[in-house]
Amino acid sequence: MLHRDERIEFCSAFDAAAWHANTERYCKSGRVPVLRSLIAGLAASLVVGLPCWGQTKSSADAAATYSLEWSQMPPLPDPIGFAGPFVGVAGDALIVAGGANFPEAAPWDGGTKVWHDRVFVLPQPTGPWFEAGRLTQPLGYGVAVSWRDRMILIGGGDAQRHSPAVTELHWDGRSIQTAELPDLPQPCAFMTGLLLGDSIFIAGGIEAPERADALPTLWSLNLSAPPSERKWVSLPPLKTGRILAQSAVVDGRLLIAGGAALFRDGDGKVQRKFLRDAWLFDVERKRWSRAADLPRSIVAAPSPGIPIGESAVAFLSGDDGRYFGQDLKYEHPGFPVETYAYDARVDHWSVTTPFPKSLPNNLGPRHNRGSWPPVTTGTVKWRGGFVIASGEIRPAVRSPLVFSVRAVAAGSR
């Protein structure tokens, strides 16, 4: 395997830490509207020589020639929202299914986490949403991919067990129909995955809720094979097992970045080690190679990543671990706003347009009003943009908001 040293190289004197601190300070104040935060982010992204990690930049990368344009869609018809929902497209309709939340109260107020089986459908971008049925069981924290006119739900679990089940959903304009596909090689949740061509790829995850060893596995399923011949294939594993990693297709290869390894501390409690490493998998050669490390740890960002141009992909910040394990309750400031882009042509990461965080003075009874960067949710391409639906915005706090984001080339407005 190829290895890269741990150095972080800055291509200019741009102070990323100071920019992040100022952005967070203004966003948390709740006094800056979305437009102003967007302008600030665009101005930051246009600074000559943004910080980059990996090889020295030899030419303008996609992140420097594109910006991300955000818009809000109709929110889910649930005031709380869900973490770990399945997000996909079937029959040209947007579908959000399953997930988990705290419907009665936060855990520090005695609330209990509940997994859900509800299926929401949005036939048109302008709405309305409606509830179209139920999953066969409450389920969350799996992977969804959209293939042809179907949405495929893979794995996931609840508080007691994780599932190997793979279910195909079809929307005919009136109701949801389901069909079963081959089970995963073992139960799995908190993994990452995507579709490359006609094949599903699933990386990492954890077999059962109580386990302290994240899986390093990489599995694939060829959907173009005749139904009787479809089976999951085990591919060369990752060097380190991980949960909640980020994935994308970039330059024809599979990118797996960040996530968290698991271990037990001296008291036997499961802990997380936040990861920065990134890997590229060549599907034809069935070989991993080391990519440039992330600028910092990223865990549970909406995935798959958002394509930028022909050779790059962007990820929302995710959880950087800064406040992980701290008992901040509603004082938790939320997850960072930065968006990071990876360009496979030159093997480096850079900062691109931040998430348009905007908070009102009153966060409401659920403490979830406003626009917050979400984690533990999926992305899916739909109607000219990439949809990010619901998700966790602070520990135990979800959001019903739905966003669409698209990469816009400079000068194309």
Q: What is the pLDDT of residues 102-115, one digit of tens each?
A: 999 999 999 999 99
In this structure, what are the phi and psi dihedrals at residue 28, rounded to the nearest 5 degrees?
-70, -20
Catalogue the long-range contacts made by 286-290 (C-beta closer than 8 Å, 24 or more residues apart): 286/235, 286/236, 287/236, 288/1, 288/236, 288/238, 288/239, 289/1, 289/2, 290/1, 290/2, 290/3, 290/4
Residue 317, pLDDT score: 87
Q: Distance between CA atoms of 75 and 79, rounded to whole angstroms?
A: 9
Q: Which position has the token pair 């991919």? A: 145
Asked whether the beta carbons of 64 and 82 are under 8 A apart, the reply is no
What's the confidence (pLDDT) of residue 65?
86
CA 146 to chain centre: 15
Report the distance separating Cα 41 and Cα 24, nearest Å.
Answer: 12
User: Can you tell me whether residue 260 is helix, strand or coil?
Assistant: strand
Query: Tell me, what DSSP letter sits at residue 307?
Result: E
Q: Please name the residue that has the structure tokens 């020295």.
A: 56
Residue 202: what pLDDT? 99
The domain locations on the chain are 16-409
pLDDT tens digits, 196-235: 999 999 999 999 999 999 999 999 999 999 999 999 999 9
* Architecture of the 16-409 domain: 6 Propeller (2.120)
DSSP 118-187: EEEEESSTT---EEEEE-SS--BS-EEEEETTEEEEE--B-SS-B---EEEEEE-SS-EEEEEEPPPSS-
Q: What is the pLDDT of residue 241?
A: 98
pLDDT beneath 70: ranges in the chain: 1-62, 413
